[in-house]
Homo-oligomer: A and B are copies of this chain.
Amino acid sequence: MRARVLVKPKAGILDPQGQAVERALPALGFDGVHNVHVGRLIDLDVEDPGRLPEMCERLLTNPLIEDYEIVEVAGQPQGSAA
């Protein structure tokens, strides 16, 4: 199975990247953007998807400061651009 793990800073935990991007945007000509959060994404082929949560807890994320969700990716990325 091709899986995707989406990792985000836990709610309430400082997200310096998100803050810096949000703060910089208006001066750079991008208005009307709020509530920016920057996280990570991990795409991987797993033979046993049942073990994904454990993999997330132990290696892919830092449970102290990050939340994650696991999404199944059907073969190829669902949307697409570029």
Q: How many copies does the complex hold?
A: 2
The size of the chain A interface, using a CB distance under 8 A, is 51
Q: Which residues of B contact A55 (CB under 8 A)?
A: 25, 28, 30, 33
* Residues of A contacting B: mostly: mixed
Which residues of A in the span 40-78 have a Cβ within 8 Å of any Cβ on B?
Answer: 40-48, 51, 53-61, 63, 67-71, 77-78
The distance from the CB of A75 to the nearest CB of chain B, in whole angstroms, is 12
> In the complex, which residues of chain B have a beta carbon less than 8 angstroms from the beta carbon of A25?
55, 59
CA distance A44 to B36 in the complex (A): 4
Can you name 21 A-B pairs with beta carbons within 8 Å?
A6-B77, A21-B42, A28-B58, A30-B55, A31-B47, A32-B47, A33-B46, A35-B43, A37-B42, A39-B40, A41-B41, A53-B82, A56-B81, A56-B82, A61-B82, A68-B81, A68-B82, A69-B82, A70-B79, A71-B78, A71-B79
